[in-house]
Amino acid sequence: MEKTKRALVSVSDKTGAVEFAKGLKELGYEIISTGGTAKALKDAGVETTEVSSVTGFPECLDGRVKTLHPAIHAGILAMRSNPKHMEELSMLGIETIDIVCVNLYPFKNTVMRGADFAECVENIDIGGPTMLRAAAKNYQDVAVVVDPADYGVVLDELKAGGVSLGTKKRLQFKVFSHTAAYDSMISNYLASSLGIKYPDTVTYSYEKAQGMRYGENPQQSAVFYNDEFIKKGSLSTARQLWGKELSYNNINDANGALMLLKEFGKTPAVVASKHANPCGVGCGDTIYEAYMRAYESDPVSVFGGILAINGEVDEKTAAEINKIFIEIVMAPSYSEKALEILESKKNIRLLQIEDISAPAEAGALDMKKVYGGLLVQGFDTTLLSGEDMTLFERRADVEETTLENGKVRTSYGLGVVTKRMPTKDEIDAMMFSWRVVKHTKSNAIVIGKKGRTTGIGMGQTNRIWAAQQAIEHAGKEAAGSVMASDAFFPFSDCAEECAKAGVTAIIQPGGSIRDKDSVDACDAAGIAMVFVGDRHFRH
């Protein structure tokens, strides 16, 4: 007489579990189950054997101990091709378990809804991962199912004569991937609770969001993964309303625009971006005004670019956007008429990110993969040193030191370092431009006026080239603009170029051994200059 095959079904996510169990019963399997799953199956009319009947031991410790028993794990781990294993099972009166269908306590969801530490710890599954790993180790003899998407595949193959070895290997892989991700989430949560930002060993868990036709270039493959815990105001939360699938470059470039947009909070703002660099940025009293200022900053480069907008796109703004080719528009909402206008172009992509202005989450990490390793840092969340706006109103301390060669070195503290103090309009323009330069590839120079950029120089191998590029892009608009530099001026040449172009004020970190040369050049031209301390390199 052929032995009855057995399947252990114990799931937190009960999606499809009843139908799967019914299918197994129809194929002659005995169903073993626990707690809530057993109740759900019985309520649905599926005959079920309680785990405690198999182990001869009741569930205890509020359900913490249910399946941790030799009668379960020996039945899973016994190799059917090993006579010694099978003889031992017979001596012990233990029967084999042929299918293990388990998914784990919802630890991630518990954390995401803000549960306290005790509840999160209680939602760390112990028996589930143990059964999954045991079944995956013995994949030749046990089909292990962790994903409800595989229920149909397993049933179909069982009906055709048995689960194939290839499918069992794929299911094995999914188990170890799943438990590895589960453990990494727990580890990172515990590290965060202890304030450990950079542990000695680290793993990160990401969920596959989408595959891509190709990567940065057609010869490169690519995929997009979502950070499982960063959900607010990120591209992983975007809902695509219109257009073809996003590419690798689309996502990378859109992220650059999105992160800059966050600097402006709720002030109506529009960022036009190209190749992850801003090409035009505008603020205003309305989204329409902000868009027109961003567009007018560089109407050439914005063509084929990406727009990040922190307010609803209305009909008037949509009509202006539709006059040129734009790859992507990101906004928290669109009016019905705006959608109708924008959807008239088949090559535009429209993304809705409802909390688009949400700042980077506390503790979020900025990571860059390098060949053979991973660079990890905190996000650059500061703007000014200590967020101190009095820097624009106070004189910087000046200290003179006589060197051994008799020369005098002048060092400056933070604040206004020139004879002329900046005006209120210049301060507003400097703060605006400082936000933009922070998100521009170094070496970076941004020239701007109140509420809009006039010229941007980025990614140059020396600072004077970046300054000259920004001035050239600004053209006549350079006169009366201010300049922001992401790092100090190593020479006076940038200040001298500002003087020629009619720039009236400069904001920069300061800290060069030749700061005095730039200060003197500014004083000679009547330019106001402020040292703010923090630099904002971006690579």
Q: Distance (Å, rounded) from C-alpha 278 to C-alpha 253? A: 10
Q: Distance (Å, rounded) from C-alpha 113 to C-alpha 174? A: 26
Tokens found for residue 270: 């529009």
With 0-12 CB in 10 A as exposed, 13-18 as middle and 19+ as buried, what is 482?
A: buried
Closest CA relative to residue 158, chosen from 172, 145, 174: 145
- Distances, alpha carbon 313 to alpha carbons 115, 269, 339, in Å: 36, 11, 9
Buried b or exposed e, range 348-383, using 16+ CB within 10 angstroms: bbbbbbeebbeebeeeebeeeeeeeeeeeeeebeeb
Known catalytic residues are 137, 275
530 - beta bridge partners?
416, 507
* Contact predicate 162/99, CB 8 Å: no
* Contact predicate 308/273, CB 8 Å: yes
DSSP per-residue string spanning 111-152: HHTT--HHHHHHT--SHHHHHHHHHHHTTTT-EEE--GGGHH
Q: Distance (Å, rounded) from C-alpha 68 to C-alpha 181? A: 22
Q: Distance (Å, rounded) from C-alpha 535 to C-alpha 16? A: 54
Closest CA relative to residue 251, chosen from 232, 270, 225, 271: 225
φ, ψ of residue 60 in degrees (nearest 5): -145, 175
Helix (H) or strand (E) holding 449: strand 445-449
Whether omega for the bond prior to residue 443 falls within 30 degrees of 0, making it cis, is yes
Closest CA relative to residue 129, chosen from 215, 44, 47, 68: 68
With 0-12 CB in 10 A as exposed, 13-18 as middle and 19+ as buried, what is 51?
A: buried
Q: Distance (Å, rounded) from C-alpha 144 to C-alpha 135? A: 6
For helices 151-159 and 165-193, angle between their N-to-C axes, nearest 10 degrees: 160
Q: Give 385's contacts (C-beta < 8 A, 6+ positions apart).
A: 391, 414, 532, 533, 534
